[in-house]
Amino acid sequence: MNTYLIPVDFSKTADHAAKYAARLSWTMPNSKLILLNSYYVSEYESILPTPDLMVTTDDRIADEIESRLAALHKLKSKLLEINPQADIEISLSRETILRSVVNRINKEEIDLIILGSNGKRAKNESDIGSNAIKISKASPVPVLVVPPKADYQSIRKAILACDFKKVKEIVPINALKKILSKHEIDLLVLGINAGEEVDQEEEGTLRDMLKDYNPKYYYSAHNDTIKGIVKFAKAEEAQIIIALPKKYSFFEGLLHQSVSHKLTIKSHIPVLLLKD
């Protein structure tokens, strides 16, 4: 079974990622979706009034829980319209979002976390979107980050961005092989040295690691690494970009609010962060 964990906070960002997951599950038989909402009330919130002078009483907490469960059921119904055969579980956690995700992963085998990233015009829209990097760093399993404008497409072509440095340490080869073995994907490796001389030994190591999958190799000297990667992915009509787990500079940049309108709003390419 393919089990997908989808953290949701009922924002458009999170709902979009959940719908993406439902469409993905349609193409993956024997899939399970877990809609996870986090409702954490600190000790201070139960003692001190909110800015509007409201105290978080037990009754208010109970009402909020009931409201969130109703919203989870409503979202589940929407996803079943996309994939009527989907196995969907709803889960409400009273922990913080990070702890909720980690605890769920420890509870059962999760294959993939799917979450949405906030666009430039949705700076404060989604708490999950604004914490995408933290969730990804805390997660021991792969994370798929879905941009606001990303419509689901069957994955036929993937871009693996790599700077050919410390390849054996950086490339999560086991996780990558697991993905490539499950799907018929054309893999394009993009060197992102931005004009630096390529380390031939490191590149040779990567070529040897991936030789069974016959990837094609390209090189980008674009001064803006992020723009160079996405421009290349768009030109190649790729469906996904693979970011490396120990190279968060690219991943953080892709999600950062200061990135260009093209990346944060118009990009249709999800980012997959793999973990070994």
Rounded Cα–Cα distance for residues 145 and 243 (Å): 10
Residues 120, 265 contacting (CB under 8 angstroms) = yes
> Model pTM?
0.84
- What string of pLDDT tens digits covers the 276 residues of the chain? 789 999 999 988 899 999 999 999 988 878 999 999 999 876 555 555 555 545 567 788 899 999 999 999 999 999 999 999 999 999 999 999 899 999 999 999 999 999 987 654 444 456 676 677 778 778 888 889 898 878 888 889 999 988 777 777 777 788 888 878 777 889 999 987 655 676 788 889 889 988 988 999 998 878 877 788 888 999 999 999 887 755 555 555 655 544 333 333 345 689 888 776
| Confidence (pLDDT) at 105 | 94
- Edge-first strand order for the sheet with 31-38 is 87-93, 31-38, 2-7, 112-116, 143-146, 271-273, 240-243, 157-162, 186-191, 216-219
Residues 6+ apart with CB under 8 A from 47: none
Predicted local distance difference test score (pLDDT) of residue 196: 64
What confidence score (pLDDT) does residue 59 get? 82
Structural domains of the chain ordered from first start = 2-146 (3.40.50.620), 157-269 (3.40.50)
> How many residues in total does the chain contain?
276
Among candidate residues 63, 130, 131, the one with its CA nearest the CA of residue 101: 131
Enter the tokens of residue 165.
């440095």
Best CA proximity match to 132, nearest among 144, 120, 149: 144
